[in-house]
Each structure stands twice: as structure tokens, then as C-alpha cells.
Structure 1
Amino acid sequence: MEPLNILISAYACRPGEGSEPGVGWHTIQEVAKYHNVWVLTRQNNRPIIEAQLNQNPITKVQVIYCEPPSWLRPLHLKKKLVYLHYYLWQIAAYLVAKKLQETINFHIVHHVTYVRHSTPSFLALLPIPFLWGPVGGGESAPKAFWKDFGWRGIMYEIMRDIARTLGELDPFVKLTAQRSILARGTTAETTQRLRKLGAKNVEILSQLGLSDLEITQLSKLAESPPKIIRFISIGRLLHWKGFHLVLPAFAKAQLPENAEYWIVGNGPERSRLETLAKQLKIDDQVIFHNQLSRAETLTKLSECVSLVHPSLHESGGLVCLEAMAAGRPVICLNLGGPALIVSEDVGFKVEANNPDQVINDLANAMTILANDNHLWKQKSDRSRARVKNLYSWQKKGQELANLYEKIHNSNNSV
């Protein structure tokens, strides 16, 4: 394979982190094994990236740090304004890339992060093939579940939907979709929106992965199956995470008397969940842990039989991958990113028609896993194999490098 010159846009890009920064870093790290890579990213990523590259140089990577005008930089420090900073950063990145293109002759430009479909990438305006994503954000909590959100939760969902709709009306978002040679969505919901925006070539692909080192470390947790029936949910305690659905399901499931349900994380829903546990008379079996370090969280995970992840809208679901790599079958809703990551042979995907139905089906899944050791072992082994086969960053990087080659050859043959 002859190395190509690849320009990558990675607003979020930091080694040693999960979520979006991890997606950005792992993508460039793996692609650089095959091609020459130039990365556009934020200035505030410089210290950690340069420290990593000084310790472990990557010869085929050049990092270009760019920012909007200095008076706009404080925007990224304010959570509510970060997406405005991100939008303006896209313009700055395009201006830098346009000058670079005059001397470097990039073969392909790839937008990697943010994983967000409702903000444009002005790099699509460059006169070279543009690969968009995977991008997400097209997911919404089914309306049947809104009645349990409270007025704050409902307002959050309304404002989220409005913001996404306004983003999709942006002519530059439509132009980004229309100029993409391939647009990848993280979920079925997002791929539908990409097509409506005008993307002609669309496919579904999770943005998530685990390094081979992470897969090896997590697989060691699978070597010691838990002796007590415990279920665990991990994440911020927010209305759309759906933890309020798991508590009545746990109360309803046919479980041993010493069974427990652990919740790891902090958030505004904490008091509501504690009250609900008392009302259901399971507060002696429900244990709330505060937000823990990754190592502490994984230790807790290893002491449980299954991750219950009832998120009502999510484009990713990294914790599902981590649980599967640790041999812990995942019980999730058949929505968003988790529905793509988890297949029926490795876990349970519960349809999300209404709260009562979800509670019943979650309870049934917990009952089955708690009382069928053979099935648990089957799903545990298959979970580990699925992560290794489909979600290794090494394999994803190789597939992406091959895709670049395919796009380049196809473009040259036209």
C-alpha cells in the first residue's frame, strides 16, 4: 500500500482518554501505521499530545494546532458555549487547511471529531474527497418515556431537539453532507438524518473501539466470574440514562435474596433514584457509589454479573464495550449506539415501546441471566469475542486505511 497524504480534523483529540478525545487520538494513531497523517486540532490539546509524542514518536503524524481569533477562545471553557467555539474553530481549521493544501497535496480529508452530525465541517469545501464521520446525534428519547422525566428533563429534551433541528437547517451542514464521498452515522437514527441532509453514500458504523492493551486488561476480569448476583449501571445520573427504569425491574425480577444492584456515578437524579428505591422497598439491595476512577469502576464491574445500560438516547456507549470485553453481558435498550454494539447472542436488547413494557422486559432479562449459568457463560464468551473481532482499534485502523486507498483509487479512475 503506497502511503497517502491524509488530512484529519479532530477537534477532540487526546491520548489516554475515552469518549471523543480517545476516538480522535486512536484514529490518527492507527491510520499513521499506513499513511501520512496531518491532524488539525485545538491548541489546548497541545501539552498532552506533545508529551505523548515525545515519549512515543509517531513518524507519520504532523499535528497542526489552530484556534479562532484569541478573543473567542474563552468560549470553549464555558460548557454552554462550547459548540459555538467548535463551529468557529471549523472555520479557522478550513483556512489553515486551504493553505496547507497548496503545498502538501492531500489525497483525502476526514472529519473525525466531534462526532456530531448537526454542525458543518468546512473542510468539505476542499477540492479533494471528503469522508464524514462516523457522526451521531440523531437519536431522541421515545415520547412515551417523557412523562417520567419531570419538567426539567422535558425542557432539556425539547431544547435538544430544537438545537438539532436548527443545526440541520444550516446550509453548511447540508453542504457538508452533500459534498461527502461517504457519510458514516453511529446509529440507524443518524443515518436516516444524513440521507435527508443530502448525503448520497451513507453507512452505519460505531465510532468506538478499544486498544489491544485495553482488551487484554479487561479480558483478565472475565477470568473470575462473580459469586454473588449483582447488576451494575454506570454513568451520570441523568433522566435520559434511564436508571429509573432499572429499579422497578430489579424489584420485579426473580432473583436470590442477596442479589444487589449497584449504581456508579453522580448527577441530579441521585435523590430521585434513592427515593424510588425506598418506595420499592429495595433500598437495602441498591448500593449507590459515587463517581469513581476508571480502575475503581472496572473493579466494581468485575464483581457484577451484568451491565444494565438503559440509555434512552446515546450515539455511543463505550461502557458497553468495556463490559463486553470484561465478559459481562450487557442488557440495554434497542436504541442508539448500544443497540449497534450489543447483539442478541452476546446480551439482551429490550425494545423501547413504553416504560411498563421496558420494566417487564428488563426484569425478565435479569431473571434469565441470574438463573442460567450456562447461558451467562455463553454470552460472556461471545461478548469478549465480539469486541476483539469488531471493536479493536488496530482492526478499525486497518479497515480505515484500506477505505482511504479504495476512495483514492476510485476517485482517480473517474
Structure 2
Amino acid sequence: MTLKVILIAANLDPEDVGEALLAFHWASQIEKWADVTLLTQHRRGQSDLQKFLPNTKVISWPAWQLPAKYERLDAGLKPGYVKFWLKVRRWLKEAVKLGEEIDIIHQLTPFGLRYPPASIKTNIPYICGPKGGSLPTPKGFAAECGSDSFASKFRVLDNLLFNISPIHRMTFQNLDVLLGIDSGVKDRLGTIKLRNFEVMLEHGVEEADIVARKVEHSKELTLIHVGRGVRTKGLRDLVRAMSLLKDRPWIKLISIGFGPEVDICQSLAKSLSVEQNIAFLGRVAHKVVLDTYSYADVFTFPSFREPSGGVLFEALSKGLPVITCNLGGPGEIVNDDCGIRLNAENPDQLAEDLAVAIISLDEDRDRLMGLSTGAIQRMNDIGLWSKKMAWLKNLYEDRHDKASRTIYS
């Protein structure tokens, strides 16, 4: 039986980046084995989605957007989601009233936990996610996060929303299943009671993307950090760690990314006299990032407020061992077979622990090679789209069967 699925995505665009592109990957995978109707919205200048999703019935409304100069604020706050949320609920209520055949409703985006699903009370299973985010900043890092964007500061209100907002409580409790990017999502919802919760990472890779690396024996140890130039990505902690490794000049760090934090880190590297061991590449083409993975030895990503982990999927797929923080998405993605997970209590502690972790891999190259093999295995286990979709299809069928037995019992 081919399931009839309503997919909901507030932003979906194969020609964009981030959440919009990832939502497209999900939709393009699901349309291979389900009869899909997509409810979405289109932004200014966006191409017609139908040509990218030929097996999907696309229903799209114009997106309400802030002016282009406020693009970052628009992406962070998503003020247009309220209008989309109302339209989706209206559409679903009308479809149910008309008796349209629907087996599963699955809302993909927004991935952010603070945005309530558009769920309605119905016997049709409503699945939402993967959702994540709303991670608190560890108290020890709060003083150095003053340069966070205006939109990100709203994160402190998330806990309040989950505990007092009747809309959040109603719509999350209407769900049949919530998919969380990490196991802590359920706890961050506070007193909201969920019917069913499953962990499901939002990123995926094709089998062809997974490439075992050829490890060359060399005294040098090359670290790579890839991320936006914001404090939470942990680049400043890596620079401080490099200052603790001055007696190992063969350890080098490559930074890829741009933003105000990168400028701060360049100045910090000079003040700590480690600028000669750190290459700040700034904004580069994606091909350059992939090429850099091929000759780096360790992916260092000590982000202490990371809801996701797309760059981790990229790095692990190229056989790179990872040093990261045991929080959010990275804490779920990385295990002891493919990397090292650190606590994030304060900047001094994290820098010291990073240095210790880096030294441990520098001194034990056999372990480094073992973690590289483990990275490939980890992606084969949790990263392949084919396995993710097999799991999702089973979930759809299970929830549909249980709903049918309840209706006809």
C-alpha cells in the first residue's frame, strides 16, 4: 500500500542553503515511496518547486517576509510563520471535513523547537520533526556571548514559552509522534506531555558521499574547524587550546568561516603568539571545504550550543575523527568510536580539555586511525538516507495501522 502523506514545510528550496535545502532533501526522499502532497510557501524570486519534486503535488502560498536588509532577523525569528501556521491549519481542517484520504501528516519545518506545529485534533497521525534547538548557553560562557545576534537572544524565552503558552501546549500534545534531533529535546519542552517521542537526526548522506580516507603517516597533525563566525561555534576555545600546544608546533589549525567572531579570534591568535600555527581561510567555496577535509586529520568542532550538526555529517563522511562538545546534535551524532566528546562548563575548562584531547590523538596515531574507521562506520549506521527512510516508512506504517485499529475497533 502506498501511503498518502501530507508534508508540511514552512521553507523548502533546493536552491537555498540550511533548513530550506534540508527540507527539500527530506521531501525528495519521501516522494520516492509515498503519495505526497506538500504544503509550503514560496519566497521572493524562488523557482517553481514542482519541477524539482515531480512526484509531489505542491500547494504553495506566498511567504510573508521582512525587507531584504533584515534577512538574518527574518531567518532567526520567522515572523511569517504565524500566517503560514494559520493557513496550514485551515487547509487541514477543510481537508478532513471533506473526507480527503490522508494516511499521515508530517510537518518537517521549522526545525526549531520554539515554533509550534500546525497540528489539529484528528484521528490522522500527525508527526512533527526532526525538531531541536532551544539549547541554553552554559552559564560559564554567558559573559562571552554578548555578541550573539538579536534573534538568538530570544532563546532565553523558549523555556517560558513551553511552560506558559497554551498554543505550544495544545499543538505539541496533539502530535502522535515528535521526532527530536537529540534526546534532550523532550526535557526542554518542560511540562508539555508528549504521546510518543523518537530521536531522529535531520541530516543525511548518500552512500556515494561516504569516502574512507587514506591515512598517511606524518608527524604533522592538521585540525580543521568549519562554522559561522559566532561565539557558540567554539573557535575562540580552539585558539586558546592552540596556545597550550606551543611545544607541539607540528599541530596546525585551519579555520573556515566568516563573521565577527573570526576577527576576534585572529586578534586573539596574535595576542597569544599562535597566529603562525592557525590559517584563517574565511569564506570559501564548498569544494574548498571538501578538499580541506581530505588532508586534515581531525575535525575540531567544540560548539557548545549546537542544535544540529550538518558539518559533522560532512566531516565524518570523509573519515575525519571529531572532537566536539557533548551537547545537542553533536552529542547525539558523535560516539566513542568516531570521536571525543567534551563537557562545556567554562572557556578555561574547555580550552584545557581540547588541548588534552588533541594531545591524546597526537600521541596515539593508531587510535586516530581507529576513530577514522569508526567515522565511516558511524555514517553507515546513522547517516544514510536509505536507512533513515526505511526507518521513517516503518514509523509511518506503524502509526497508520494503530490509528486504523483505533478507529475501527
Q: How does 1:63-102 map to 2 (within 5 A)?
A: 63-67=58-62, 72-74=64-66, 78-82=71-75, 83-101=78-96, 102=98
Cα deviation, residue 80, structure 1: 2.1
Q: How does 1:40-79 map to 2 (within 5 A)?
A: 40-44=39-43, 47=47, 49-53=49-53, 57=54, 59=55, 61-67=56-62, 72-74=64-66, 78-79=71-72
Q: How does 1:211-226 map to 2 (within 5 A)?
A: 211-215=206-210, 219=211, 222-223=213-214, 225=216
Amino acid at match of 1:230: T
Query: Residue in 2 aligned with 1:263?
Result: 255
- 1:296 to 2:322 alignment: no
Amino acid at match of 1:205: M
Instruction: Tell me, yes or no, if the aligned pair for 2:300 and 2:324 is still in contact at 8 Å.
Output: yes
SS in 2 for 1:323: helix
- 1:139 to 2:135 alignment: yes
Instruction: Tell me, yes or no, if the aligned pair for 1:240 and 1:312 is still in contact at 8 Å.
Output: yes
- Deviation string, structure 1 residues 145-202 (Cα, Å, up to 9, x no partner): 11233x4349776542125634663322111111111112212332212362222322
Query: Residue in 1 aligned with 2:27?
Result: 28
Query: Residue in 2 aligned with 1:9?
Result: 8
Instruction: Select the residue among 296, 301, 306 that pairs with 1:314.
Output: 306
Q: How does 1:382-397 map to 2 (within 5 A)?
A: 382-397=374-389
Instruction: Tell me, yes or no, if the aligned pair for 2:11 and 2:19 is still in contact at 8 Å.
Output: yes
After superposition, the Cα gap between the structure-2 partners of 1:254 and 1:21, relative to the gap in structure 1 and judged at 3 Å, is: same
1:196 and 1:142 map into 2 onto residues whose CA distance is: 22
- 1:277 to 2:269 alignment: yes
Cα deviation, residue 126, structure 1: 4.7
SS in 1 for 2:275: coil
After superposition, the Cα gap between the structure-2 partners of 1:362 and 1:246, relative to the gap in structure 1 and judged at 3 Å, is: same
1:357 and 1:192 map into 2 onto residues whose CA distance is: 26
- 1:199 to 2:190 alignment: no
Q: How does 1:180-191 map to 2 (within 5 A)?
A: 180-191=175-186
Instruction: Tell me, yes or no, if the aligned pair for 2:313 and 2:379 is still in contact at 8 Å.
Output: yes
1:361 and 1:392 map into 2 onto residues whose CA distance is: 31
After superposition, the Cα gap between the structure-2 partners of 1:247 and 1:35, relative to the gap in structure 1 and judged at 3 Å, is: same
Q: Which 10-residue stretch deviates more, 92-101 or 152-161?
A: 152-161
Instruction: Tell me, yes or no, if the aligned pair for 1:346 and 1:379 is still in contact at 8 Å.
Output: yes
The answer for unaligned runs of 5 or more in structure 1 is: none
SS in 2 for 1:37: strand
Query: Residue in 1 aligned with 2:112?
Result: 116
- 1:177 to 2:169 alignment: no
After superposition, the Cα gap between the structure-2 partners of 1:229 and 1:255, relative to the gap in structure 1 and judged at 3 Å, is: farther
After superposition, the Cα gap between the structure-2 partners of 1:226 and 1:194, relative to the gap in structure 1 and judged at 3 Å, is: farther
Amino acid at match of 1:67: P
Instruction: Select the residue among 147, 154, 175 that pairs with 1:152.
Output: 147
- Deviation string, structure 1 residues 102-152 (Cα, Å, up to 9, x no partner): 253211111111102212222334552111111112311211111233x43
- Deviation string, structure 1 residues 352-375 (Cα, Å, up to 9, x no partner): 222222112111111122222211
After superposition, the Cα gap between the structure-2 partners of 1:334 and 1:124, relative to the gap in structure 1 and judged at 3 Å, is: same
Instruction: Tell me, yes or no, if the aligned pair for 1:15 and 1:48 is still in contact at 8 Å.
Output: no
2:81 and 2:356 map into 1 onto residues whose CA distance is: 43
Instruction: Tell me, yes or no, if the aligned pair for 1:255 and 1:370 is still in contact at 8 Å.
Output: no
After superposition, the Cα gap between the structure-2 partners of 1:157 and 1:80, relative to the gap in structure 1 and judged at 3 Å, is: closer
SS in 2 for 1:6: strand
Q: Which 10-residue stretch deviates more, 87-96 or 162-171?
A: 162-171
Identity of counterpart residues, as a percentage?
25
Q: Which 10-residue stretch deviates more, 269-278 or 340-349?
A: 269-278
Instruction: Tell me, yes or no, if the aligned pair for 1:46 and 1:65 is still in contact at 8 Å.
Output: no
Query: Residue in 1 aligned with 2:327?
Result: 335
SS in 2 for 1:360: helix
SS in 2 for 1:187: coil
Instruction: Tell me, yes or no, if the aligned pair for 2:119 and 2:175 is still in contact at 8 Å.
Output: no
After superposition, the Cα gap between the structure-2 partners of 1:320 and 1:342, relative to the gap in structure 1 and judged at 3 Å, is: same
Cα deviation, residue 311, structure 1: 0.8
Cα deviation, residue 16, structure 1: 6.1
- Deviation string, structure 1 residues 236-288 (Cα, Å, up to 9, x no partner): 11011121111121221376423211110100112211111112111111110
SS in 2 for 1:87: helix
Cα deviation, residue 27, structure 1: 1.8
1:64 and 1:192 map into 2 onto residues whose CA distance is: 34
How many matched pairs?
400
2:217 and 2:39 map into 1 onto residues whose CA distance is: 45
- 1:161 to 2:156 alignment: yes
Q: Which 10-residue stretch deviates more, 41-50 or 338-347?
A: 41-50
Query: What is the Cα-based RMSD across aligned positions, in Å?
Result: 2.4
- 1:230 to 2:226 alignment: no
SS in 1 for 2:14: coil
